Structure 1
Amino acid sequence: MCEGLVDGRLLQAPCRCNAKNDGGGHVDGQHGAVVVVVVVPNSETCEPAPVLEDRPPSVRKGGAVLEEAAAILRLSLPMIMTALILYVRPMISMLFLGRLGELALAGGSLAIGFANITGYSVLSGLAMGMEPVCGQAVGAKNFPLVGATMQRMVLLLLAVSVPVAFLWTKMEPLLLLCGQDAAIAAAAQRYILFCLPDLFFLSFLHPLRIYLRTQSINLPITACAALAIAIHLPINYLLVTVLGLGIEGVALASAWANFNLVLFLLAFVYVSGVHRDTGGFSLPRNLFKDVDGWMRLVRLAVESCASVCLEWWWYEIMILLCGLLANPKATVASMGILIQTTSLLYIFPSSLSFGVSTRVSNELGANRPSAARAAARAGLALSAVQGLASLAFAVAVRRAWARMFTSDADILALTASVLPILGLCELGNCPQTTGCGVLRGSARPKDGAHVNLGAFYGVGTPVAVVLAFWAGMDFRGLWLGLLAAQAACVAVMLVVIHRTDWDVQAKLAQVLAGAIDVNGAGVNDAAAHVKVAAPHGDEDSSLLITVSG
């Protein structure tokens, strides 16, 4: 038997060569890499070697940040294109709702807001919990875990969709209880009932996109999104204009667009063969037996959901507060325009955040802490540039932007006065969003949730309420509250990332990625085959790890 010590534990591997066993093995003190026994066929010795060594010092020292910045941009640009394409879908829906009249537009808008708060934000946030698992598993070359994680997340989202669907069926009485107009509440109920299939489709769509994204497969997502949106307009025309389904047709067309996107992505996965390395479309035997895997995924999903929803819901609260200001019609309308503007600008830092999350998780899973640190630094540097660009854009268009939506003088004046504040908010929002990507990639969404809770509700909300209602700053006070929240958020986020021990994160990633279990065992069970790069470039080498006692 070939033996080695990992953190005080004895690892044994049956030798497949005709050589005498030295019993070597240790933990590399310089890189912190886990050392195991490597068995090389047709060789005369069995020598211990790292599973995945850290990147060589020459690469780390020379231009690693620039290298990572280029890699992040290659990942982020297709995601930006995808997000911009998908941004067209709600615009088409609003266009058809507007053609149906004020009641349909009000009811549809109210239903979409309710769906965002109670359903879409929850499913999106939960799905992000699979990012660190899949990303780190890709880095560790444990592709079966990537497929199993996607399947678990689909099942989890389907389970969560059941209570969400029940809540949606009871939306009208809830809206009436909150004092909403009866006609608008009835129209909103009709709209959201036809959105129920969307919960089912999104339970597949979110995991599919993350499954591909963490493997750096992004352009096919862009192509599939473009195809789905290209037929979204004629589908709306068919359902709303030709068949005369009205507000129900708009809702059904929106869900149909996600259904088409799921079909296109599944077709790509099958035709391209991406699924073969990750376990195919069949459910693995231990999908339900791996309790630890489920617990880790659920914990990360809940923490990611909290991080996403705490920020998402804060904006909805600000819209409600607008209704309490001096000129509620103008302020609510202006807030709607500004929220649409932030949604558009958010596409860029969120796409960058996904790219950074992928790079950080891949490098940690590959046990390259220095490269993960370089990816985090590169992402934050790129986000600072994005923030400056967003600020410049908001200041430049402040007098013309609102004219695309309305000609009302009060709304134009309010929007123009707040756009520079919005730009300053983006100056903090871009690094903060990217920082959330770093935390997701290193499996620490809980830290992101704590930062968002403290910044938005501990700082932003009190400042917004005091300035808007007590200091007499009205609408501008609410946005200055957001500015205070973003400033606090980015400051704390940068401190958290600066204090990160990347060597520790890389070691933790080996457990989450399934390279070793919590007891130091090999992948999936006590005796597992793992393909690694052998000494001298022998790609046929493999190792067999067995944990004793």
Structure 2
Amino acid sequence: MKMVAGDHIQIQKYSIMPEVVEELKRMKDIGLPIAAMGLVGYLKNMISVACMGRLGALELAGGALAIGFTNITGYSVLSGLAMGMDPVCSQAFGSHNLPLATLILRRTVLMLLCASLPIGLLWSNLEPIMLGLQQKPDITRVASIYCQFALPDLIANSLLHPLRIYLRSRGTTWPLMWCTLPAVILHFPIAIFLAFNLQLGVPGIAVATVVTNFNTLLFLLCYMFHTSTCPEPLCVPLSSPPSFESTSNVSMGEEWGTLLRLALPSCLAVCLEWWWYEFLIVMAGYLGKPRVTLATSAIVIQTTSLMYTLPMALGASLCTRVGNELGAGRPRKARLASLVAMGLAIIASMVGLLWNTIGREAWGRVFTQDGEVLELTMAVLPIIGFCELWNYPQTTGCGVLRGTARPGIGATINFYSFYMVGAPVGIFLAIVLKVGFVGLCYGLLAAQVACAISIGIVICKTDWERESLKARVLAGTGRGGSTHEDQIKTKCEEEEAEFLKEVNMEA
């Protein structure tokens, strides 16, 4: 019996639908806890800011300055550097190279601890730096005190970021959320007790944040050691760890070089995007009616932070899925994962657009009752909604770049999108054409559009077979004649034979 072209298309359609459904389930299992954890982290930050507001206007201003400074100089750097372990760890779990996953975890922790030393020195000298930038002495003094008491948080984050990526890379994400939730629940009474009952003020809030992060770390470590068994990665001896390269005579310096070549561009990509939002706040202070524009910018930052939790979870899930499948030698499934995730991102972005457009007045009243601030907020939130229409796909697409060990491309795209497109457009509209804060938001929209289009082009041009071969080398399974490589080849041949068998039976 002959099979016409239409029948062939129907067979392909029915054969791929179960894979799409399975991929959606895997995305849900990995991404849902990450999104929930992001919302819980957002709640922790809101509790801290609310406590500062209760202390007084000076404490709120100083605390806000300190939070902005620590985000720019510390947390963004540690978060970005930790993402360097994303491709190696996810691909190592995909190829079942468990010792390599543990090795990259330990080296990333060591790298972050080393990076914390200059960051801590910078935080300790916040006051002279801010005074040199003509900041008010009383606000600077409060911010400096906050930073000094927050120094131990660098150690907590140097351990938390790698552990989270490690667990996510092996698909264990629900424990991440359940370990974070009780720590954040405890954050509220701890912050109240230290800041108000003991009358420590801003230092008490900083200490409460440190204690909360160490509690999260403690819960994570208890989970990992309680559930670990002898075959688990943390129990595997590392007497002869696999190298990053395909040859056996690669030095430790070259292996560290490979890790740094992944970590530094990842750090740059994260920092460039984070810093642009700080640039938005700074520029708002130079516009007319700075009280109104700065208050509106704070609402915009809170809105984008909340909206970011979903695409961040999708991007992290996609990074894990792409890395796992490439490490296992299944490039077709890695490509399918990217298509499914991007489709989800586009659907979710439309929800974000509707939220910022239809609910702009109700959302604005959550933060302010000031007529001028509310009016400007209602004017810019629909623009932020269109930003999210592009931000969701571009943030999700960054997961492909991390999962395929191409963070340098992401850093390059972020640089020219935000600083060669977004910043000039925003400054021109806000200052030259005197559009004001609305012009800065249009600059953000231009940056998001350029970034999303660029990342989409990169994903469309991705050679998945080539990325699979690169993953075998990076994950330590690319040695010629290795048993694992033969298993991957055999598995691919079996899947192809099974598909052809189904086609012949339908024919």
TM-score scaled by structure 1?
0.83
1:404-419 equivalent positions in 2, closer than 5 A:
404-419=366-381
Q: 1:504 aligns with which of 461, 466, 481?
A: 466
Q: Structure 1's 458 and 284: CA in aligned 2 closer, same or farther, altered over 3 A?
A: farther
1:62-141 equivalent positions in 2, closer than 5 A:
62-141=17-96
Q: Structure 1's 432 and 412: CA in aligned 2 closer, same or farther, altered over 3 A?
A: same
1:7-86 equivalent positions in 2, closer than 5 A:
61-86=16-41
Provide structure 2 residue ranges, at least 5 long, that are not aligned to the other structure. 1-11, 244-250, 492-507
1:460 and 2:414 correspond: no
Preserved contact between residue 125 and residue 308 of structure 1 (Cα < 8 Å): yes
How much has 1:279 moved relative to structure 2? 3.8
Preserved contact between residue 331 and residue 468 of structure 2 (Cα < 8 Å): yes
1:194 and 2:158 correspond: no
> What's 1:316 paired with?
278
1:337-348 equivalent positions in 2, closer than 5 A:
337-348=299-310
How much has 1:281 moved relative to structure 2? 8.6
Partner of 2:235, secondary structure, is coil
Q: 2:342 aligns with which of 374, 380, 384?
A: 380
Q: Structure 1's 118 and 283: CA in aligned 2 closer, same or farther, altered over 3 A?
A: farther
> What's 1:420 paired with?
382
How much has 1:533 moved relative to structure 2? 8.0
Deviations 1:232-263 (A, max 9, x none): 11211221222222111100110111100011
> What's 1:14 paired with?
none
Partners of 1:239 and 1:276 lie apart in 2 by 43
Deviations 1:425-462 (A, max 9, x none): 00000000001011101111111111111111111011
Preserved contact between residue 198 and residue 255 of structure 1 (Cα < 8 Å): yes
Partners of 2:127 and 2:68 lie apart in 1 by 13
Partners of 2:143 and 2:489 lie apart in 1 by 61
> What's 2:439 paired with?
477
TM-score scaled by structure 2?
0.89
Partners of 1:262 and 1:113 lie apart in 2 by 23
Partner of 1:509, secondary structure, is helix
How much has 1:291 moved relative to structure 2? 2.8
> What's 2:398 paired with?
436
How much has 1:531 moved relative to structure 2? 10
How much has 1:83 moved relative to structure 2? 1.0
1:49-448 equivalent positions in 2, closer than 5 A:
61-273=16-228, 276-280=231-235, 284=239, 290-448=252-410
Preserved contact between residue 144 and residue 277 of structure 1 (Cα < 8 Å): no
Greater helix proportion: 2
Partner of 1:179, secondary structure, is coil
Greater strand proportion: 1
Partners of 1:248 and 1:366 lie apart in 2 by 48
Preserved contact between residue 66 and residue 378 of structure 1 (Cα < 8 Å): no
How much has 1:96 moved relative to structure 2? 1.5
Preserved contact between residue 285 and residue 293 of structure 2 (Cα < 8 Å): yes
Partners of 1:86 and 1:243 lie apart in 2 by 25
Preserved contact between residue 60 and residue 371 of structure 1 (Cα < 8 Å): no
Preserved contact between residue 135 and residue 358 of structure 1 (Cα < 8 Å): yes
Partners of 1:182 and 1:93 lie apart in 2 by 23
Q: Which amino acid aligns with 1:135?
A: S
Deviations 1:335-354 (A, max 9, x none): 00011000000000001110
Partners of 1:183 and 1:281 lie apart in 2 by 53
How much has 1:297 moved relative to structure 2? 1.2
Preserved contact between residue 365 and residue 506 of structure 1 (Cα < 8 Å): yes
Q: Which amino acid aligns with 2:292?
A: A
Q: Which amino acid aligns with 2:305?
A: S
Q: State the number of aligned residues.
A: 473
Q: Which amino acid aligns with 1:432?
A: Q
Q: Quote the RMSD (CA, aligned, Å).
A: 2.1
How much has 1:203 moved relative to structure 2? 0.4
Runs (4 or more) in structure 1 with deviation over 6 Å come to: 57-60, 528-531, 533-536
Partners of 2:489 and 2:331 lie apart in 1 by 21
Larger Rg: 1
Q: Structure 1's 262 and 274: CA in aligned 2 closer, same or farther, altered over 3 A?
A: farther
> What's 2:8 paired with?
none
How much has 1:463 moved relative to structure 2? 0.4
Provide structure 1 residue ranges, at least 5 long, that are not aligned to the other structure. 1-56, 523-527, 537-549
Q: Structure 1's 529 and 336: CA in aligned 2 closer, same or farther, altered over 3 A?
A: closer
Percent identity of paired positions between Structure 1 and Structure 2 = 45
How much has 1:396 moved relative to structure 2? 1.2
How much has 1:375 moved relative to structure 2? 0.5
